[in-house]
């Protein structure tokens, strides 16, 4: 990984984090608590729905091209069909939620307006996969910046114009439609067979795989994504149903700060090294083990430092980002900062468990944590409100870290021993 690529990724992720922070500052200070809660709920639906779109195709594309090179083109046509089907399913789910009398009219209207942003997120993930395969991190960084800039610009236009949740929805709608073009241009490399592959660049392309066989390869990645967002952000949906949008606003004012810290392990292992981790798992497990040991130590140190910084400065961070009306969220932020330690320490382990057939094990772990998260939320949110949601997050992240750490080390030891034979 050369310094230029790392610099591009650091700048792109850093600017994305700044855009996200500024967006939340603008909206938290300008919208009412209820409207900010509606916005937080909308972002949650965007994240979960964008995982349904493609249903694991983005991660599968990286894996299959990293291992098989040009031979992976046999999956392209069925993958495109699966992508279209999953788009329809995702939009249908949102429409059903809108038609059901779960939320008020403003929330339902806002959810309708953000559908283009859901499509943007889904196509963005495929776009990133192609750029990761080619190790074109300049465009990975620019794509990441584009997604966050669209939301920031929508927030800025809202604040200086009509300053309400519906106008924000319309700005997101228009800007997302415009942002689709550059991403689709990169995705077209799939069916044009123009991807620069890391291995077997001259291999012949076998006949196309069936949709069924392709789905069997992609669905574990899809369920991992869905289960992840269930335990990662289902708290917001549960709070919106059981406590109302104001409670969502309080939780979200703390969680957005922690979520910014979560972006940096993602920078390294889900983007910069994702293709290489898949390649090493198949062709050089010793290199993967060495990389895992060093990275886990570095991230543990960074996680401890980030947790301490946020804990000690939580009051100032809430005042700076959300304003005095959210000062009650200071304690929530301090507790949530503990989750950073769990997330950082196991970031590389979780990525390793997406290689080879371990993706099925990772799917089961995520499913277990998702069930645990929902069960605890249903029990304690009606009693403890936002505090209950925070505690559920910590329990879920702690259990995930423990299971992923144990499982990934067993797996690494096994493939290294097999490689040495």
Task: Express each pLDDT in 358-416 by its tens digit.
Answer: 888 999 999 999 999 999 999 999 999 999 999 999 999 999 999 999 999 999 999 99
What pLDDT score does 384 carry? 92
What pLDDT score does 339 carry? 93
Lowest mean pLDDT among 22-36, 47-61, 319-333, 393-407: 47-61
Instruction: Quickly state the pLDDT bin for 149 (edges 50, 70, 90).
Output: very high
What the block records as the tokens of 9 is 């990724």
Instruction: Quickly state the pLDDT bin for 74 (edges 50, 70, 90).
Output: very high
- Rounded distance, CA 103 to CA 244, Å? 9
Q: Tell if the pTM clears 0.85, that is, is over it.
A: no
What are the CA-CA distances from residue 291 to residues 63, 199, 395 (Å)?
Answer: 18, 20, 28
Q: Is the pLDDT higher at 110 or at 48?
A: 110
Is 146 in contact with 179 (CB distance < 8 Å)? yes
What are the CA-CA distances from residue 166 to residues 119, 169, 256, 352 (Å)?
Answer: 19, 5, 21, 42
What pLDDT score does 9 carry? 76
Determine the average pLDDT of the residues in 300-314: 93
User: Which residues neighbour 196 within 8 Å (Cβ) at sequence distance 6 or greater?
Assistant: 133, 134
Q: Where are the alpha helices (DSSP H) in 69-164?
A: 76-99, 105-113, 115-133, 137-160
405, with CB counted inside 10 A (0-12, 13-18, 19+), is middle
Among 36, 189, 185, 58, which Cα is nearest to 121's? 58
How large a percentage of the chain has pLDDT more than 90?
Answer: 48
Instruction: Quickly state the pLDDT bin for 267 (edges 50, 70, 90).
Output: low
- Rounded distance, CA 319 to CA 331, Å? 13
């Amino acid at each position: 990984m050369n310094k230029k690529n790392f610099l591009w990724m650091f700048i792109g992720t850093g600017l994305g984090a700044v855009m996200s922070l500024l967006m939340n500052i603008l909206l938290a200070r300008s919208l009412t608590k209820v409207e900010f809660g509606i916005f937080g709920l909308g972002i949650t639906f965007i994240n979960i729905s964008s995982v349904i779109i493609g249903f694991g195709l983005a991660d599968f594309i990286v894996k299959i091209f990293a291992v098989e090179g040009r031979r992976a083109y046999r999956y392209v046509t069925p993958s495109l069909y699966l992508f279209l089907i999953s788009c329809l399913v995702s939009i249908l789910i949102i429409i059903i939620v809108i038609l059901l009398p779960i939320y008020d009219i403003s929330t339902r209207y806002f959810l309708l307006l953000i559908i283009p942003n859901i499509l943007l997120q889904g196509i963005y993930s495929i776009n990133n996969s192609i750029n990761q395969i080619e190790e074109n991190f300049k465009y990975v960084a620019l794509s990441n910046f584009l997604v966050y800039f669209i939301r920031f610009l929508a927030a800025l236009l809202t604040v200086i114009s009509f300053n309400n949740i519906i106008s924000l929805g319309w700005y997101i709608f228009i800007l997302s439609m415009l942002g689709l073009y550059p991403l689709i241009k990169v995705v077209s490399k799939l069916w044009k067979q123009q991807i620069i592959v890391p291995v077997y660049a001259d291999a012949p392309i076998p006949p196309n795989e069936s949709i069924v066989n392709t789905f069997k390869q992609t669905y574990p990645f899809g369920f991992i994504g869905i289960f992840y967002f269930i335990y990662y952000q289902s708290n917001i949906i549960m709070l919106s149903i059981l406590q109302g949008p104001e409670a969502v606003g309080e939780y979200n004012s703390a969680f957005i700060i922690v979520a910014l810290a979560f972006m940096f392990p993602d920078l390294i292992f889900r983007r910069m090294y994702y293709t290489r981790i898949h390649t090493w798992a198949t062709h050089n497990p010793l290199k993967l083990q060495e990389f895992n040991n060093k990275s886990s130590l570095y991230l543990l140190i960074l996680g401890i430092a980030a947790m301490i910084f946020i804990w000690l400065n939580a009051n100032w961070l809430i005042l700076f980002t959300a304003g005095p009306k959210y000062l009650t969220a200071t304690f929530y932020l301090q507790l949530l900062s503990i989750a950073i330690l769990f997330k950082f320490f196991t970031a590389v382990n979780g990525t390793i468990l997406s290689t080879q057939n371990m993706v099925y094990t990772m799917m089961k772990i995520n499913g277990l944590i998702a069930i645990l998260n929902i069960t605890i939320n249903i029990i304690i949110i009606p009693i403890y409100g936002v505090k209950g949601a925070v505690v559920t997050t910590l329990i879920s992240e702690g259990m995930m870290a423990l299971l992923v750490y144990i499982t990934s080390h067993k797996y690494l030891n096994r493939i290294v021993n097999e490689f040495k034979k």
